[in-house]
Structure 1
Amino acid sequence: MSHESDRGCVLIAAAWVDDQLRVLIGNIFKDLNDCGVHPVAAKEFDALNRSILDGCFGKSVNRVNFCRLIGAIDSPTAAAMAALFQLRNEHFAHFAGVSELSDSAVAPKLSEFIESVVEAHPNPASLQNTVCGPGLERLRFTTAFESLRATTFAAETNFFKIAIHRRLRSLPIELRPHK
């Protein structure tokens, strides 16, 4: 993201998280379909999956809320994602003027995003106790995004496979996935 404007950084970061949420939810639906008594064929599954992801899960916040509801992400991570999407929507995506991470109007939402990431993933020392100055807002934003990206989605993709396989072992044989 080093060659992007501040607007580009925020939009790309939010789009990446949004895409990962779509993939995560799609994988959850696939795993659930594989465990179903009446699994849906691939072509129909793809159409239904797109319909759900573009319909009731069409908004980023709905995807975050769903993943939080089913335990795929923890509360601080959900808060960090929601703060990122609010930062994007309020100051970069739906605002025609010039917007920079160093703008005083952006500072509260940027701080909310960074604080949420620190709460979710308290290891990034470069985010904690750093005084913002000229140019540091972008460094803090990209560091927060990288922390969220690296720690959340690396582990979450296996969450449902593990949970579903544990659940499957406890089901009667006739309800196990069809192979």
Structure 2
Amino acid sequence: MSGGERAKTVEAYRLWWQHDAHWYQGVAARFGQSVANEINAEALRKVALHVGRRVARLSGPLPDTGDPRKDLDELRRRYDDCGERMFPGELRNASTEVEADDLVVLTLRRNFAVTMVRMAGSLDGYRCPCTDIHAGWSEGLGVRLTENRAAACLRDGDPACRLLLRVATDGEA
């Protein structure tokens, strides 16, 4: 893709995010912000599930090498792929790392969605749908989580979001 084509693609993403922000504002104004948050999270989880399934289809089965860190590093790479498909690098600054045999940490230093919600004046009642997105990706990738939570959030004024995804091991229900 040429630079001009990429710029047009990024502009299209921005316009859709602008649409999303206005849609969210309209739902919040008519039905309340809790309803807007609920519908937003539900819709993003469905999109994330689709993205996770697509990445799983394109990548094949997750390996089981007997080395949990190595296997988790492959899962981390797939989460990165999901993130790039939903939120290209031009719209966010994110990274992932494996921090334990069962823990992937996603760090988000810039998030276009939070920026748009802030600009629209809705940040106070906005609930980030990050855990819903990660639940969708995980389900689509065929991964069961025992923990899916934000330890820090840009929306709350933290310098970065720190999202913890703890993967169920074979013996965990």
* TM-score for the superposition, normalised by structure 1: 0.24
Higher Cα radius of gyration: 1
Considering fraction of residues, name the structure with more helix: 1
Q: Which structure shows the higher strand fraction? A: 2
Structure with more relative contact order (C-alpha pairs < 8 Å, separation 6 or more): 1
